[in-house]
Structure 1
Amino acid sequence: MIAEDLETPVALVCTEKWHETPDTVSFVLACPENARRFHFKPGQFASLGFEIDGQIAYRAYSISSLPDQTMMKFTVKRVEGGQVSNHVIDHLSSGDRVQLLKPQGAFNNVDCTHRGRVALISAGCGITPVMSMAADWLSREGIDVVFIHIARDVRHTIYYEELLHLNTVHPSFHLKLLLKQAGNSEHMQGRLDQDYLLKMCPDILERTVYLCGPERFMQDVTTYLDQIGFQMADCYQERFSAAAMASDSPPSDTETGPVTVAVPGFGVTVDAQAGDALLDVLESAGVPVIAACRSGICGSCKCRVEQGQVEFSSQETLSEADIRSGYVLACSSRIRSDLKVSL
């Protein structure tokens, strides 16, 4: 089975699970029938479906293992009130089946070309895609890697022991941890700013940067890079969330009132209100739309508006051809009129 060729969900089995930090777990998925290998580009993510209360809930997670192996590793951090993250941490067990969709994502070390030396900059669970990228480069290329990671303390540093191991065995891997509380460790303590960035990577202007983490963190880093004259075309970023509309945000004008949403392919016509999120309406009507990231990033909820109008906040994964054809991301679209939709 070649993971990047998957067009429909495939059932894998959880073969192992462990805690990385008090609020983060990693788990391994493999094919139960045979030892087929999974092909993807390091840095990409995949949408995973978990059965929760009799329903399959999908979420997108970065792949943290290497490609061409007979397993895939994922790491999930607990999100307060998060349906899937809490299920994974509290209830996922070895032997449980998990649905896998096709790996995707433009943030990877194949399409995002580098200049020979790289700086990987991450915070929190933003470490997951860059960890896969670093491990892949170290396994096959003579790439010089400065690995900058920001965390609360050693105990809350994801992959801490693995990072120390890479730093010991690979002369071309340079680990730079900046912790809010360094304790008795030898790592730096403080809050990332322009001075710390240059201290950890003095030659950053000569490197290609790969950046992933919370939105505010990424905004700060790009500001620091811009201020020191970095060529931003050599900075690649992965966002785990978009500026998607909050579920209680009204549409941009005062239009309200009843509308209908028809999905002829599933024999569904449902009443809604102007301003409702299209994804919420489709899900409440029982339409089997997949929504993995719910923030306009992964593209799994792409659908076509054949008639009517929506207001959208993200077109992150849509091509120009998609947009011309009327495709939208259901998670980032609000209904403006009667709709006819196809999946």
Structure 2
Amino acid sequence: MFIEWQNNQAATMRCSDKWQETDDAVSITLVAADASHLHFSNFKPGQFVSLGFELNGKMEYRAYSIASAPGDAHLKLTVKRVDGGLVSSHIVDHFNCGDTVAVLAPTGPFNSIDCPPKQKVTLISAGCGITPVMSMTSTWLRDKADIDIVFIHMAKSAAQTIYFDQLESMAAAHSHFHLKLLLKDNAGTRHPQGRLDKAWLNTLCPDLAERTVYLCGPTQFMQDMESHCRALGVEDGHFHQESFTPIESKQNEISSAAVQVEVPAFGVTTEVAQGSTLADVLEENGVPIIIACRSGMCGSCKCKVTKGTVSRTSTETLSEEDLANGYTLACSSQIESDVEVELV
């Protein structure tokens, strides 16, 4: 039996284990709350789930990549504390074995199924960006014995490297898994010291242009690595990177003109500046919409604009039929005129 997600409804899952990965990051495993489901196969390696907690009287959702492989008896997630992060701090400090959490269905286009590999791959990550590429790697090592894997990860030190011991074990157990860990401080390790730049990337993986590349990490890190990969000859069709970074507010595009937003089912009528992000307006007016990834990737904030117009910066989970019928993703929709909205 398997966890089944219905539409945008969250499944209730229970924390079955929790441990410290680094001084500011923990890993947790989640199982079905009723313990009747044994395996979790309905996700693609590299995808993420959104966790929902009721904090300060409000449901707060955040997206976290799955680190386990499809078919495992649990979902494994690794959460790093974010400065001022409400949900990440709650997970690190207060979410314990036996506690339950609302979990939205796995999603995300950054995965090893929709982005299929060549016979040789390179994974490039930093920080918690290691989680989705670890899921891909674990799956390949289990299911594709002949794939050649170069795993490049940038970290401050061995102590600050998420999955350090697991990575070392994988390198020892698999001749086709090549661990290339680059540390800012390599004291006590066999790994090189430095900062990942174009020269280091070429040194760690001289045949990068012959490989499919998967990239995940902090925004600036990904921008730099993408530039280096392009310069080193990686083909467009074989370069893939994680996409769920929050969409920046386009303050300079907000007009002084006022528009009206109505949500009849919740008795909401409010006047806002033209260009305001629909998700922000709905949240500020108490409409119970789920907003998880805030990057137009997970589809949790799908709603319907029944009157008026919005502009969209993402239509990732919407079909042509959805668009024709007025559906939009609130987190990536800017209000252009008076609108009327209903929840899905």
Matched residue SS, 1:74: strand
Matched, 1:307 2:294: no
* Backbone CA RMSD of aligned residues: 1.9
**1:259-270 equivalent positions in 2, closer than 5 A:** 259-264=259-264, 266-270=265-269
Shift in CA distance, 163/151, structure 1 to aligned 2, threshold 3 Å:
same
Whole-Å separation in 1 of the counterparts to 2:248 and 2:136 = 31
Matched, 1:112 2:115: yes
Which segment drifts farther, 198-207 or 310-319? 310-319
* Pairing partner for 2:63 from 57, 60, 63: 60
Matched, 1:48 2:51: yes
Given the two structures, how large is their TM-score scaled by the length of structure 1?
A: 0.92
* Pairing partner for 2:226 from 219, 222, 225: 222
Asked if the contact 1:43/1:130 (under 8 Å) is kept, the reply is yes
Whole-Å separation in 2 of the counterparts to 1:101 and 1:234 = 29
Shift of 1:100: 1.3
Which segment drifts farther, 121-130 or 188-197? 188-197
Matched, 1:157 2:161: yes
Shift in CA distance, 120/227, structure 1 to aligned 2, threshold 3 Å:
same
Matched, 1:184 2:188: yes
Shift of 1:269: 2.0
Matched residue SS, 1:177: strand
Amino acid aligned to 1:273: V
Shift in CA distance, 315/245, structure 1 to aligned 2, threshold 3 Å:
farther
Could you tell me which residue of structure 2 aligns to residue 173 of structure 1? 177
**1:236-315 equivalent positions in 2, closer than 5 A:** 236-242=240-246, 244-246=247-249, 249-250=250-251, 252=253, 254-257=255-258, 259-264=259-264, 266-274=265-273, 275-315=275-315
Amino acid aligned to 2:255: T
Residue ranges of structure 1 left out of the alignment (5+ in a row)? none
Shift of 1:226: 1.5
Whole-Å separation in 1 of the counterparts to 2:321 and 2:193 = 48
| Matched length | 338
Runs of 4+ residues over 4 Å off in structure 1: none
Shift of 1:234: 0.7
Amino acid aligned to 1:99: A
Shift of 1:60: 1.1
Asked if the contact 2:33/2:100 (under 8 Å) is kept, the reply is no
Deviations 1:47-73 (A, max 9, x none): 111121233211111111111222111
Matched residue SS, 1:281: helix
Shift in CA distance, 195/53, structure 1 to aligned 2, threshold 3 Å:
same
Deviations 1:268-291 (A, max 9, x none): 222131143321221233322111
Matched, 1:11 2:12: yes
Matched, 1:72 2:75: yes
Deviations 1:158-182 (A, max 9, x none): 1111111111111111100111222
Which segment drifts farther, 31-40 or 17-26? 31-40
Shift of 1:201: 1.0
Deviations 1:137-167 (A, max 9, x none): 1011121111000111111111111111111
Shift in CA distance, 263/2, structure 1 to aligned 2, threshold 3 Å:
farther
Asked if the contact 2:108/2:297 (under 8 Å) is kept, the reply is no
Could you tell me which residue of structure 2 aligns to residue 31 of structure 1? 32
Whole-Å separation in 2 of the counterparts to 1:99 and 1:277 = 25
Could you tell me which residue of structure 2 aligns to residue 122 of structure 1? 125
Whole-Å separation in 2 of the counterparts to 1:216 and 1:145 = 24
Residue ranges of structure 2 left out of the alignment (5+ in a row)? none
Asked if the contact 1:245/1:332 (under 8 Å) is kept, the reply is no
